[in-house]
A and B are shown apart, each in its own frame.
Chain A
Amino acid sequence: MASTYRFTAARRRRGAGWRHALCAMAVIAVVCLWCGLSAPTAQADEAEATDKCVPTAEFGCVNGILQGSDQKPIAGVTVTLGGAETGETTTGDDGTWAFKVADDGKYTVTIPQDVAKRYGFASASADVEIVKTSFSKQRGVVRFDKTSTSDAASKPSAAASGMKRPATTDAADTSGKPSASSATWTRFCQQLYSGIVFGLLLGLMSVGMNLVYGTTGLSSFSHGEQVTLGGLMAYVGTQMLHMPVVLSAVCAVAVGALTGLVQDQLIWGPLRRRRVGTMQQMIVTIGLSMALQYLYQFFFGGDIKGIVKSVPEGIQIGPITTNAPALICAGIALATIVGVTVFLYCTRLGRATRAVSDNAALAAASGINVDSVVRIVWTLSCALAALSGVLLGIYLNGIAWNTGVTLLMLMFAAVTLGGLGTANGALVGALVIGVVADLSTLVIPSDMRYASALAILILVLLVRPQGIFGKRNRIG
Chain B
Amino acid sequence: MTIVANILGELFAPTTAAYALAAIGLNIHFGMTGLMNMGQAGFMLLGAYGFAITQMHGANLFSSVLFALLLAAVYALLLGIPTLKLGPDYLAMVTLAAAEIVRIVGRSTSMTNITGGSAGIAPQDFTTRFEDLSPLPDGTSTFLIWTYNNNIANSWWLRIVAWVLVALCAFLCWRWFRSPWGRVLKGIREDENAIRSLGKSVTKYKMQALIVGGLFGALAGVVFVLPRSLNPDSLGRTVTFYTWTILLLGGAATIMGPILGSCVLWVLLTAVKETMRVTIPSTVISSNQIEALGWIIVGVALMLLVIFRPQGILGNKKELAFNG
Contacts and interface: CB of A to CB of B under 8 A. Distances in A.
Interface of A: 1, 4-12, 18, 21-22, 25, 28, 32-33, 35-37, 39-42, 57-58, 103-105, 131-133, 219, 267, 271, 275-280, 282-284, 286-295, 297-298, 301-302, 405, 409, 412-413, 416, 420, 445, 447-448, 450-451, 454-455, 457-458, 461-462, 465, 475-476
A465 B310 contact: no
Contacts of B113: 39-40
A32 B100 CA distance: 14
A21 to B, nearest CB: 6
Interface residues on B, range: 35 or more
Contact of A278 (B294, B303, B324): B324
B97 A412 contact: yes
B105 A457 contact: no
B96 A7 contact: no
A284 B118 contact: no
A287 B306 contact: yes
A10 B86 contact: yes
A454 B82 CA distance: 14
A129 to B, nearest CB: 11
B299 interface: yes
B83 interface: yes
A45 to B, nearest CB: 12
B295 A290 contact: yes
A32 B97 contact: no
Nearest to A415: B93
Nearest to A461: B82
B32 to A, nearest CB: 15
Interface in B298-320: 298-307, 310
B300 A287 contact: yes
A48 B92 CA distance: 42
Contacts of A295: 292, 296
Interface string B76-93: 001001110111111011
Given A10-B90, A104-B117, A290-B238, 10 more contacts: A11-B85, A133-B118, A279-B324, A282-B92, A283-B306, A289-B299, A290-B296, A420-B89, A458-B97, A458-B98
18 contacts: A5-B89, A7-B87, A9-B85, A33-B105, A39-B114, A40-B113, A104-B108, A131-B109, A280-B310, A283-B244, A283-B248, A284-B306, A284-B307, A287-B245, A294-B299, A298-B293, A445-B110, A454-B98
B279 to A, nearest CB: 17
B107 interface: yes
B166 to A, nearest CB: 24
B78 A133 contact: no
Nearest to A18: B81
The A contact surface, by secondary structure, is helix
B104 A461 contact: no
A25 B101 CA distance: 14
Contact of A445 (B89, B109, B203): B109
A289 B242 CA distance: 12
A291 B90 contact: no
B62 to A, nearest CB: 26
A462 B110 contact: no
Contacts of A58: 118-119
Contacts, number: 203
A430 B104 CA distance: 20
Q: Which of the listed residues A5, A297, A298 has the most CB atoms from chain B within 10 Å of its own CB? A: A298
A3 B11 CA distance: 43
Nearest to A475: B193
B31 to A, nearest CB: 12
Given A286-B241, A290-B241, A454-B98, A36 B110 contact: yes
A28 B107 contact: no
A254 B310 CA distance: 34
Contacts of B101: 451, 454-455
A235 B238 CA distance: 26
Q: Which 8 A-B pairs have the closest CB atoms?
A: A291-B299, A290-B299, A287-B302, A36-B110, A287-B303, A294-B295, A104-B109, A277-B324
Contacts of A455: 101
B81 A457 contact: no
B88 A450 contact: no
B200 to A, nearest CB: 14
Contact of A219 (B85, B89, B108, B306): B89
Given A39-B114, A302-B288, A416 B87 contact: no
Contacts of B107: 133, 447
A461 to B, nearest CB: 5
B36 interface: yes
B87 A290 contact: no
Contacts of B304: 287
Given A279-B88, A412-B97, A451 B114 contact: no
Interface in B193-230: 193, 203
Nearest to B302: A287
Given A9-B86, A39-B111, A290-B241, A279 B192 contact: no
Contacts of B105: 32-33, 36, 448, 451
B118 to A, nearest CB: 6
A39 B192 CA distance: 45
Contact of B82 (A9, A22, A103): A22
A290 B298 contact: yes
Given A9-B85, A25-B81, A409 B97 contact: yes
B100 A290 contact: no
Nearest to B233: A57
A5 B87 contact: yes
Contacts of B303: 267, 284, 287-288, 291
B293 A294 contact: yes
B112 interface: yes
A25 B78 contact: yes
A457 B91 CA distance: 12
Contacts of A445: 108-110
A56 to B, nearest CB: 11
Contacts of A412: 93, 96-97
Contacts of A287: 245, 298-306
Given A18-B81, A287-B299, A291-B296, A219 B289 contact: no
Q: Which of the listed residues B109, B299, B322 has the most CB atoms from chain A within 10 Å of its own CB? A: B109
